[in-house]
Chains A and B, each alone.
Chain A
Amino acid sequence: MKEKISHLDWLESEAIHIMREVAGQCANPVLLFSGGKDSLCLLRIAEKAFRPGRFPFPLMHIDTGHNYPEVINFRDKKANELGERLIVASLEDSMKKGTIVLKQDDEPRNKYQSITLLEAIEEHEFDCCIGGARRDEEKARAKERIMSFRDEFGQWDPKNQRPELWNLYNAKVHRGENIRAFPISNWTEMDVWQYIEREELELPSIYFAHKRDIVKRSGAIVPITNVTPVRPGEVVENITVRFRTVGDITCTAPVISEADTVEKIIMETASTVITERGETRLDDQVSEASMEQRKKEGYF
């Protein structure tokens, strides 16, 4: 009797196994939850890994204060439905404490997330953060471990990572050190959408095609919000768009799309010619190695 499970079952099983290793090895883990599609996959995997028990970790959102309200509402609703504890660590609090000093009020805040994250890790004494990063997202992540080691300063040193063999994950750390665990490392954007479809996962509405006021600014579509206002001379258009990723408002751009169901998004993803981050993350385009730089500073 020869058998082999399908690729989605295999990816799911691998992710469940990784999450259970975190629960088995780490004293005080946390799951980073943004309301985005990748972290929603993580929540479904956590359900499959631990129900009917409770999750052996709380959820935590690093809140830049620049979020689409649809995503924040969704985040709170989801945590509530699951009956799991949600910690919100806010950049505004770090700004009040003076640990984050903005150069300009309206500058993108993604790069400051690592400061608030590291403060939260220290405050709650987390020894492991489970995140939804994928190796296919960006060049700097192709060599990322599933259990990625961070030193006392939260730094990722590409030359000082532990070899990872078979499915044996070494999550041992000393006090102050930290593991970032990435259960969906081996998933691609297509795998994520197929999983969302199969599991009938509910997503924040901004992932689906909707009408929105935007301007076109140096080639990118910039949504008009209170933190990204129209600049003089720009023409506001109301067009049908959707978001491929959700993050800080100031650095997440939508794409023109009529896809209003998961099925249509999958068809669109299959025929797309631009990578997810290349298309919609304004923060990665600064330099070819910008993600790598941010990771070294303690970003996920």
Chain B
Amino acid sequence: MNDTNKNNTVLRFLTCGSVDDGKSTLIGRLLFDTKTILTDTLSQIEKSSKKRGMSAIDLSLITDGLQAEREQGITIDVAYRYFSTGTRKYIIADAPGHEQYTRNMVTAASTSQLAIILIDARKGILTQTKRHSFLTKLVGIKHIVIAVNKMDLIEYDQEKYQSICDDYKIFASAIQLDQPGTKIQFIPMSALNGDMIVDRGSMIDWYKGPTLLEVLEKLDTREDIKESALRLPIQYVCRPRDSDNKELHDFRAFMGRIESGLLQVNDKIKVLPSNQESTIKEIRIGDKILKKGIFEESVTVSLHDEIDVSRGDMLVHAHDELRSTKGFTAKVCWLSETNLSTNRTYLIMHTSRTSKAKIASINSKININSLVLEEASDLKTNDIADVTFKLAQPLIVDKYANNRGTGAFIIIDESTFHTVGAGMIESID
């Protein structure tokens, strides 16, 4: 289904599970049954399957990417896959299930609206299921599909399926995953045989709910733009002074992507952190003049007053009580192989603004297997901790739970410039 509809919406989701759960087979099945896999790719996969001594086509090979990992039979990084249907364009973030799991999963989840958590029907809920669920909650994903896979290996037994669902509900409630606003759905399936993925198949007649694809197709991805506060971080200031066009000599416009809310012409706004106020004169995308700009649109705006705005500033509505801050506490996922050092200074990149930062304290660390809080004095790869930061320059932040775009940040090593950590703001000083 290489669809030609121009008014599709985008849905981004991730799949959590290891190779043993049939995750690669599930993705392969989604791509295969939606006719996304084209003939030459398929013949390559056939060749590789034969090379490994397999008789049938191994759908999991579709998602195997680089030479190094094909040879070793492992996947080492997040890969992105695409397919589309009559109503949607889908972007799958495929996070591998082995080592570095936490890091890869947090990365994949950061851009996703939905998570598919795979459970092997023979094994039920494992430690890793709990880990996946906890990380899904941490990164703020509101739509969760529990895919009870390999139903073919338990003779499509409804009772066993039901008891896995019941176990999961108890666990979800224990970690407070089942909050209002978060939706958890259960689907019995066999990725290998294609039951309940795109087609219903004939083996799970007792299940009356939607197939996986139906869940993906029906998910409401719209945002309530009037309910959420306007956040427009400025990325770039347009000053075409050297243009041949004299009319543009005094022209100034401010460019950025609306991270949340609704912006309309004549809205009273203020610029943070300076607190100067003005009103919106014009909103445009390219040549197109708009009455409003909404969440996820990259716009160019001009103001009625000549006030100073630069990259890193944020436009919010004039009545908004948001202020800038020089300190906050956040959940941090440490991504680097080099441990966090509390003596060092790091860079924090947040929206279009970057500040130097020091670690005020590491308050606790979460044991990702037992989900128990532990004391901590340092952080190593894949650790998740509660950390308080002190900032050199003020940042304009929201709590992550209220706003993903302005509640998230990355930590950059000042000397290597590598991205070493990811953070989600929980409380603001």
- Which positions in A face B, CB cutoff 8 Å? 1-14, 16-17, 20-21, 23-24, 47-54, 56, 135-136, 139-140, 142-143, 158-159, 161-168, 170, 172-174, 185-186, 188, 190-191, 194, 197-198, 266-267, 269-275, 278-279, 288-289, 292-293
CB-based contact B89/A7 at 8 Å: yes
CB-based contact B419/A164 at 8 Å: yes
Whether a CB of chain A sits under 8 angstroms from the CB of B296 is yes
CA distance A261 to B84 in the complex (A): 23
Whether a CB of chain A sits under 8 angstroms from the CB of B242 is yes
In-complex Cβ contact of B40 among A20, A186, A275, A293 (8 A): A275
Which residue of A is nearest B416, CB measured? A174
Count the B residues whose beta carbon is within 8 Å of the partner chain — how many? Answer: 83
Report, nearest first, the 5 A-B pairs whose CB atoms are least far apart: A278-B40, A48-B286, A289-B67, A16-B298, A2-B222
B70 to chain A, nearest CB (A): 8
**Interface membership of chain B positions 235-262, coded 1 if the CB is closer than 8 angstroms to chain A and 0 otherwise:** 1101110110100100101011100001
Interface stretch of the complex, out of B1-9, B160-168, B179-187, B207-215: B1-9
CB-based contact A52/B240 at 8 Å: yes
Known contacts A3-B222, A21-B352; decide if A278 and B41 are in contact (CB<8 Å): yes
In-complex Cβ contact of B419 among A10, A170, A273 (8 A): A170
CA distance A260 to B80 in the complex (A): 32
CB-based contact A52/B408 at 8 Å: no
CA distance A165 to B296 in the complex (A): 16
CB-based contact A3/B66 at 8 Å: no
A243 to chain B, nearest CB (A): 17
CB-based contact B38/A278 at 8 Å: yes
Interface residues of B in 338-352 (CB under 8 A from A): 347, 349-350, 352
Sampled A-B contacts (10; CB under 8 Å): A3-B223, A4-B221, A5-B9, A8-B6, A20-B236, A53-B239, A143-B77, A167-B405, A186-B80, A288-B44
Residues of A within 8 A of B9 (CB): 4-7, 10
CB-based contact B78/A168 at 8 Å: no
Interface of chain B: mostly helix, strand, loop or mixed: mixed
In-complex Cβ contact of A2 among B70, B78, B106, B225 (8 A): B225
B24 to chain A, nearest CB (A): 13
Residues of B within 8 A of A14 (CB): 298
CB-based contact A174/B224 at 8 Å: no
CB-based contact A6/B82 at 8 Å: no
B366 to chain A, nearest CB (A): 18
Given contact pairs A52-B238, A159-B68, A292-B66, a sample of 10 additional A-B residue pairs in the complex whose CB atoms are under 8 Å apart: A4-B9, A7-B9, A24-B235, A52-B251, A142-B65, A168-B349, A168-B350, A188-B84, A273-B38, A288-B48
CB-based contact B296/A10 at 8 Å: yes
CA distance A106 to B101 in the complex (A): 48
In-complex Cβ contact of B408 among A1, A7, A165 (8 A): A165
CA distance A158 to B409 in the complex (A): 24
**How many cross-chain pairs have Cβ atoms below 8 Å apart between A and B?**
212
Whether a CB of chain A sits under 8 angstroms from the CB of B285 is yes
CB-based contact B82/A162 at 8 Å: no
Which residue of B is nearest A83, CB measured? B244
Residues of B within 8 A of A49 (CB): 236, 255, 298
Whether a CB of chain A sits under 8 angstroms from the CB of B103 is yes
CB-based contact A267/B4 at 8 Å: yes
CB-based contact B243/A54 at 8 Å: yes
In-complex Cβ contact of B296 among A8, A13, A194, A289 (8 A): A13
CB-based contact B78/A50 at 8 Å: no
Residues of B within 8 A of A166 (CB): 110-111, 404-405, 408, 410
Residues of B within 8 A of A140 (CB): 65-67
Whether a CB of chain A sits under 8 angstroms from the CB of B116 is no
Interface residues of B in 35-57 (CB under 8 A from A): 38-41, 44, 48
CA distance A7 to B85 in the complex (A): 12
Whether a CB of chain A sits under 8 angstroms from the CB of B417 is yes
Residues of A within 8 A of B10 (CB): 7, 10-11
Residues of A within 8 A of B245 (CB): 52
B190 to chain A, nearest CB (A): 25
CA distance A158 to B78 in the complex (A): 11
**Interface membership of chain B positions 294-319, coded 1 if the CB is closer than 8 angstroms to chain A and 0 otherwise:** 11111000000000000100000000
In-complex Cβ contact of B418 among A13, A20, A23, A162 (8 A): A162
Residues of A within 8 A of B221 (CB): 4
A204 to chain B, nearest CB (A): 23
CB-based contact A194/B6 at 8 Å: yes
In-complex Cβ contact of B110 among A10, A54, A165 (8 A): A165
Most A CB atoms within 10 A — which of B70, B80, B88, B239?
B80
CA distance A291 to B3 in the complex (A): 27
Residues of B within 8 A of A188 (CB): 82, 84, 89
Which residue of B is nearest A289, CB measured? B67
CB-based contact A2/B224 at 8 Å: yes
CA distance A51 to B226 in the complex (A): 29
Residues of B within 8 A of A51 (CB): 286-287
CB-based contact A3/B410 at 8 Å: no
Interface residues of B in 12-47 (CB under 8 A from A): 38-41, 44
Known contacts A13-B257, A21-B352; decide if A163 and B40 are in contact (CB<8 Å): no
CA distance A1 to B292 in the complex (A): 13
B307 to chain A, nearest CB (A): 19
Residues of A within 8 A of B295 (CB): 3, 5
CA distance A72 to B79 in the complex (A): 35
CA distance A166 to B395 in the complex (A): 17
CB-based contact B251/A270 at 8 Å: no
CB-based contact B294/A142 at 8 Å: no
CA distance A24 to B297 in the complex (A): 18
CA distance A6 to B297 in the complex (A): 10
B11 to chain A, nearest CB (A): 9
Residues of B within 8 A of A136 (CB): 82
Which residue of A is nearest B335, CB measured? A163
In-complex Cβ contact of A13 among B223, B298, B311 (8 A): B298
CA distance A135 to B366 in the complex (A): 35
**Interface membership of chain B positions 70-82, coded 1 if the CB is closer than 8 angstroms to chain A and 0 otherwise:** 1000001111111
